[in-house]
């Protein structure tokens, strides 16, 4: 399995994650699948990210953020907790444990960093 396979694996799992949210009656939209150097550094400077370029799964196509089509980000904590459960169910991890509840990523994504030209 190569880095492109890891990206494809993440995307398929993310799609299943989105389908499960839709089945539950709460469709979501992904954003920030990929952040290049400028976008990541800008997010860091604005305080929208705790990571600099090369330190985020977004920089490798192995992470994404999401929001709810009907509610945006203003949802009860239980939505994010359910999202964490769904992420684990489809083989992903969420950022709920470090205050980034609307983030999902491929577990072990850092192992892929050496295979990408950054």
At 56 the three-state DSSP class reads coil
Query: How many Å apart are CA 1 and CA 18, to the nearest integer?
Result: 24
> What would the two tokens of residue 5 be?
């396979």
Tokens of 3: 């880095």
**Which pLDDT band, with edges at 50, 70 and 90, does 8 fall under?**
very high
pLDDT at 118 exceeding the cut of 70: no
Domains of the chain (ranges, CATH numbers):
3-113 (3.30.1380.10)
pLDDT at residue 51 greater than cutoff 90: yes
pTM score of the predicted model:
0.93
User: How confident is the model over 62-116, as pLDDT tens digits?
Assistant: 999 999 999 998 999 999 999 999 999 999 999 999 999 999 999 999 999 999 8
């Amino acid at each position: 399995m190569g880095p492109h396979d890891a990206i494809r694996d993440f995307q398929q799992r993310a799609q299943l994650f989105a389908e499960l949210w839709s089945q539950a009656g709460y469709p979501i939209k992904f954003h920030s699948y990929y952040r290049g150097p400028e976008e990541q550094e800008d997010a860091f400077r604005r305080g929208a990210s705790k990571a600099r370029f090369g330190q985020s799964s977004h920089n490798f196509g192995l992470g994404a953020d999401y929001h709810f089509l009907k509610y945006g980000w203003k949802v009860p904590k239980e939505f994010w907790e359910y999202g964490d459960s769904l992420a684990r169910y489809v083989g992903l991890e969420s950022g709920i444990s470090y205050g980034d509840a609307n983030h999902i990523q491929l577990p072990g994504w850092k192992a892929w960093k050496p295979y990408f030209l950054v």
